[in-house]
Amino acid sequence: MPEMNRRTVLTLGAALGLGGVATSGGAAWSWSPSGSVAGAARTALGGGSTVDPQWVWDDDIDRIMANVITSGQVPAVNHAMRNWTYNSQAVPIGLPAELRSFLQANTKLPEWADKWKLRRAADFNRRKDTYLFLIYGIGGGIMSTVIPREARSVYWSKGGADMQDRAAKTFSFGYDLSDIDAFEWTGEFLVTSNRTRMVHAAVRHLLPQSPHWQASGHDEQIPISNHDILVTFHSTGTYAHKKLKDWGVPMSTADQDAFLHSWQVALHMLGVRDEYIPATWDAAHAQADQILTPKLQWTPEGQELAEVLLGLTAQVDLGVTRGFLNEFVRYQLGNEVGDWLGLERDPASEVIIREGWPLYIRFRESIIPIAPASFYMFDQFVRALAMVFLNKGQSLTTTKITVPDINRPS
């Protein structure tokens, strides 16, 4: 069987008339680049694209990482990067020359980044971290298990065999993005995002070689396209924005704009083209309606991943029962997702959450003067949940994102 590469996929797509259609057989890509950070002016000058991001990957780093893997250099690369942590640090000298050159060119902010907005976003994350831990950890984390492409890619890659480590590394990305000095010289996100970009490139090389992934019923030949990264953004950043608004958490327009801007920069740092990155929250939600919401679905891989993630969480003393945890998943993601995953119902917890969580938020935000009876339980639950992701039993600083050289061990 001939090797399946980008040229093969694109040629096949063109032959079948799929240039603007996702491989899942969904509706044609219709999101306009005029709603992106590239902007209407650039689009009018031909700088935008109407090509479905499903057909766009990250060609330069993909080629470089394929060479790193096939030449057996992954252990040396991970060793060279072992102390590469802070934005202020130079790219390690022990890396292959082509990889080092790529990282030197890309471990920096895009020209359009606004440092004042990024600093405001950092302060916003600090002020709203109570809710964001819960939204990212329980909501977005479990939602990822009902995004078929993501669930299958995670499950059959090396990280799927150790979900505690995989979850910690995933959270380190979100933690470094949300940190108060994420984009400052003392922060870590510029390094973390490039480490993640390297991992994505490695997985794009490795997964198509996995017979298990090939047989899993996926609908793509090369994983983690620009489309897939955007879907993940919508299951985290866009989803967080929606839940904060649904829950009535006060947010100024400036705070919302800054929060979006941090995600815009993050997407750029992950190799997503600017013409696909939404310029406003309205544009982001419209894009999510097209590429995230219709794609949610049960898979056997996602089912197992959800059980592992909820099991890891339940191992920690959260001060609540597993039934309470199940009901909080349902509260955030809806009963359809809860039913897909077979989450057992807990009627008493369902009532406590439905009635108590809105009051908890209103008290925390000084909207009501008296703490509800359930305040302490919710407060302990959120704090304990945060520690699951911040510690996993050890300091987060020891959780390094490393390049894989194999798929999930059989």
Compute the C-alpha angle 249/255/257, nearest 5°.
120
In this prediction, residue 44 carries a pLDDT of 44
CA pseudo-torsion sign 29, 268, 140, 367: negative
Alpha-carbon torsion 323, 326, 332, 335, what sign? negative
Q: What is the pTM of this model?
A: 0.90
Q: Tell me the Cα Rg of the chain.
A: 21
Distances (CA, A) of 175 to 56, 192, 282: 27, 10, 25
Contact (Cβ atoms closer than 8 angstroms) between residue 198 and residue 61 = yes
- CA-nearest of 22, 297, 255 to 144 is 297
Q: Within a 10 A sphere around the Cβ of 322, how many other Cβ atoms?
A: 16
What is the token pair recorded at 322?
Answer: 């597993």
pLDDT tens over the chain, length 410 residues: 334 444 333 333 332 233 333 334 456 788 888 899 998 445 544 445 568 999 999 999 999 999 999 999 999 999 999 999 999 999 999 999 999 999 999 999 999 999 999 999 999 999 998 899 889 988 999 999 999 999 999 999 998 888 777 777 777 788 889 889 999 999 999 999 999 999 999 999 999 999 999 998 767 889 999 999 999 999 999 999 999 999 999 999 999 999 999 999 999 999 999 999 999 999 999 999 999 999 999 999 999 999 988 887 766 677 788 899 999 999 999 999 999 999 999 999 999 999 999 999 999 999 999 999 999 999 888 887 777 655 543 444 456 789 999 999 87
According to DSSP, residue 88 is labeled T
What is the structure's pLDDT at 176? 86
Q: Output the six-digit token pair for 36.
A: 């992106």
pLDDT value of position 318: 73
pLDDT of residue 394: 43
Residue 62, CA distances (Å) to 1, 30, 124, 204, 367 in order: 22, 27, 34, 7, 50
What is residue 388's predicted lDDT score, i.e. its pLDDT? Answer: 65
Residue 53 phi/psi, 5-degree rounding, is: -60, -10
What pLDDT does 406 receive? 94
Domain ranges of the chain: 125-162+226-396
